[in-house]
Amino acid sequence: MSQRFAQISDPHLSTLEGVQPRQLLNKRALGYLSWRRKRRFEHSPEVLQALDRDLAQRDYEQLLVTGDLTHIGLPAEFAQARDWLRALGAPEDVALVPGNHDACVRAPWEETFALWSEYMAPDGAQASDRPTAFPTLRVRGDIAFIGLSTATPKPPLMATGTAGAEQVARLGPVLEDTGARGLFRVVYLHHCPVAGEEKWRKRLTDAHRVQEVLEEFGAELVVHGHGHHGHYTRLNTRHGPVPVIAIPSVSALGLHGADIAEYNYYTVERSPAGWQLDINARRFDRTYGDFVDGESWSLALARRPVDTSEP
């Protein structure tokens, strides 16, 4: 039986109209200037409305949102994004990891990420006033969705991310356990986890450590955003090659060199040799004002044998 999920990224859905100067006395000032000069024209509410219409026609087990819902991480932006998330779907159907814009500067958790906590939560989590502990795990049928947070405040002009030693240490056992259960493991995060694939000021600072864990324990698919460009690469692991897929901003008009808005719709099905993965891109068409079929391709992936040995 096939299962389906989708990934969207970097919607930058919030508006900074009416922001007061006192709210910009830090790194946020540079982000505000970027929004004022460019981003408010690039990231379109009309494209997000078209996205809503298109997603309403899709059937999926999970919708992955891989960060950068805001521009400069103000509490008012988090509230705007919370309302948008609620319109997308119920927390158990929408899985979120934050991006670097969402963690522009240090801010009280209860005024920011707490507003999204239900969407970042793993299976079985209870309501809590504490920050989410990553990596998170949601299992839907044969698919394990494993979320990593790379969102940490950085100095001005830097758009880097960091997973951190504690999160990286927890990732291995999660991959090992879900792999032993024979699940299709999808790792989703904001920054690219492959060292050397991203510009220095936009890189994941500990990509080599995340990559080492993936090489040791394997996964079936890694998806991310951040760069506002779509691309595909493979990470070689001791369990075989793992596809690593990036998608553009889902709200972009493609006016400043970035790719036009696009998201991916995935179908996973068991095959005699392992897994069949079908990737269908949905691309915004400025002529029609809607998302249309983009590139589609299929991958045959080997399945890791299930560990049936006695403990």
Q: What is the CATH classification number for the domain harbouring 33?
A: 3.60.21.10
In tens, the pLDDT along 173-200 reads 999 999 999 999 999 999 999 999 999 9
> Domain total for the chain?
1
Asked if residue 307 is part of any domain, the answer here is no
Cβ–Cβ < 8 Å for 149, 109: no
Q: Mean per-residue pLDDT for 92-109?
A: 96
Indicate the residue type of 125: A
Enclosing domain of residue 9? 3-302
Query: What single DSSP character describes residue 129?
Result: S
Q: What is the pLDDT of residue 127?
A: 66
Average pLDDT over the chain, rounded to whole? 94
Q: What is the pLDDT of residue 116?
A: 97
Asked if residue 308 is part of any domain, the answer here is no
Asked if residue 310 is part of any domain, the answer here is no
| The model's pTM | 0.95
In tens, the pLDDT along 225-279 reads 999 999 999 999 999 999 999 999 999 999 877 799 999 999 999 998 899 999 9
Nearest residue to 186 via CA among 301, 54, 92, 305: 301
Q: What is the pLDDT of residue 4?
A: 98
Asked if residue 198 is part of any domain, the answer here is yes
Asked if residue 148 is part of any domain, the answer here is yes
Nearest residue to 66 via CA among 7, 133, 137: 7
Strand partners, 297: 279
In tens, the pLDDT along 44-80 reads 999 999 999 999 999 999 999 999 999 999 999 999 9
Asked if residue 36 is part of any domain, the answer here is yes
Q: What order of strands is seen across the sheet that includes strand 136-140? A: 136-140, 143-147, 184-188, 221-224, 240-246, 231-237
Asked if residue 311 is part of any domain, the answer here is no
In tens, the pLDDT along 150-170 reads 999 999 999 999 999 999 999
Asked if residue 251 is part of any domain, the answer here is yes
